[in-house]
Structure 1
């Protein structure tokens, strides 16, 4: 390993931590393509290593939001519980998939995530009564808990398969179904994302699919990016950031898919 290798790894970590802190999205979607394309890791090890970094970055960001009173686990804890189970199921399923299929699938996920971010960035803000949360009403507390458990299971499975802590999906669930304010939704989803990613990380580690040294180097940058990003989160133009990240996701998704097709 030379100096350029270390600097590139730390820079990747900084970007990952920054994205996690600013938009509540899992930085895994950034790390996996970079690890496979630039660091030449196989996709299973890339996902496992990225999950390791995701845990560190998410905990760092969650702590920053916690200090500002923007974490609420009264409802979100139920999502975290089943997401742990789902993450193990997803990691098991991923180990049975061929590397080419997994890379192609991840590329498609990146493209969809990018399109979703771009669409959201251009969507005009509507009155709260027009949102889904305006007509989805839970008559009893157990119905809300059951919905959260089902959501958590689905998020966990996707996390285990694709290495994503599910931050965007958790965020949407908290906003739409749980009616969380945006800042509290980001803080809470980041903590849940850390728990989910930790469960997936254990699954990948048990199969020897984590590069610990590289993960530690990436985590150094992720902590730095997470701290700086959280500090200035409220000053960032959210729509502009969503457009930039959306384009990045789509570009990397297309590249990964094309590479697998022409192999």
Structure 2
């Protein structure tokens, strides 16, 4: 029951910022509940497939998703995420622990740079072939990172959508939820085939995060932009620090 309640509260936050939350789930499962890192990675990615389905639907209803760009990035990320999960089993547990933490903290730093320093680029128009090339490239890279380190790469996806595909902040938040769906399915399948998914734990995580993510997505359009920016940056940073501790 404690795990379900914890995941419910986390789900509200994840739905709000447009993240699948695998990094934070991994941090809580390993640090707070003592599960092995590979089991936490596999279970969190599998759970993220269902969590993002709930959050993505809610964001779609709120008109925060650019469907075409989300599908281009997401489908290419599916294949690289599966490959990344296969590579992750070759990495030692203690090494993978620190790699995952480092990736989360780096993603927060990158997002801070973009949101606080860079100018708005939503009015920039791109050619059709640029959308495909950039979208596929972004999907392959973020999918590989997600599969290898067990995190959904939400900050990296959001950063790519903001910089390379020129979406607004709210569009990038919503579209990221759509992109994470195939990433988590691909990565989750990779970990399932390697035997690193705890099915009972998966059920508990799902009950909490799916319910919370649907509710949290309702607040994305209501919150001031500065609050959304702070939440997007702070979430992966805190998860990374938890893993390091």
- What TM-score, normalized by structure 2, do the two folds share? 0.88
Gap change, CA 1:114 and 1:79, over 3 Å in 2: closer
Alpha-carbon RMSD: 2.5
Q: Among residues 65, 77, 80, which one is paired with 2:74 in the alignment?
A: 80
- CA apart distance, 1:98: 0.5
Q: Among residues 22, 37, 41, which one is paired with 1:28 in the alignment?
A: 22
Structure 1's consecutive aligned runs of 4 or more residues displaced over 6 angstroms after TM superposition are none
- What TM-score, normalized by structure 1, do the two folds share? 0.83
Structure 1: 5+ residue stretches without partners: 1-5, 259-263
> Where does residue 198 of structure 1 map in the other structure?
185
Say which one has the larger Rg.
Answer: 1
Please say which of residues 164-173 and 198-207 is displaced more in the overlay.
164-173
Gap change, CA 1:15 and 1:120, over 3 Å in 2: farther
Distance 1:257 1:158 in 2: 19
Distance 1:198 1:81 in 2: 10
Distance 1:214 1:167 in 2: 23
Q: How many residue pairs were aligned? A: 245
Tell whether the 8 Å contact from 2:84 to 2:147 is kept in structure 1 after alignment: yes
The alignment status of 1:19 with 2:13, answered yes or no, reads yes
> Where does residue 109 of structure 2 map in the other structure?
115
Distance 1:252 1:77 in 2: 27
SS in 2 for 1:233: coil
Distance 1:156 1:248 in 2: 20
Gap change, CA 1:21 and 1:103, over 3 Å in 2: same
- CA apart distance, 1:61: 0.8
> Where does residue 148 of structure 2 map in the other structure?
161
> Where does residue 54 of structure 1 map in the other structure?
48
Q: Deviation digits for residues 188-222 of structure 1, max 9, x if unmatched?
A: 22011011111100000111101111111111111
> Where does residue 175 of structure 1 map in the other structure?
162
Gap change, CA 1:114 and 1:190, over 3 Å in 2: same
> Where does residue 63 of structure 1 map in the other structure?
57
Structure 2: 5+ residue stretches without partners: none
- CA apart distance, 1:245: 6.5
Distance 1:44 1:231 in 2: 32
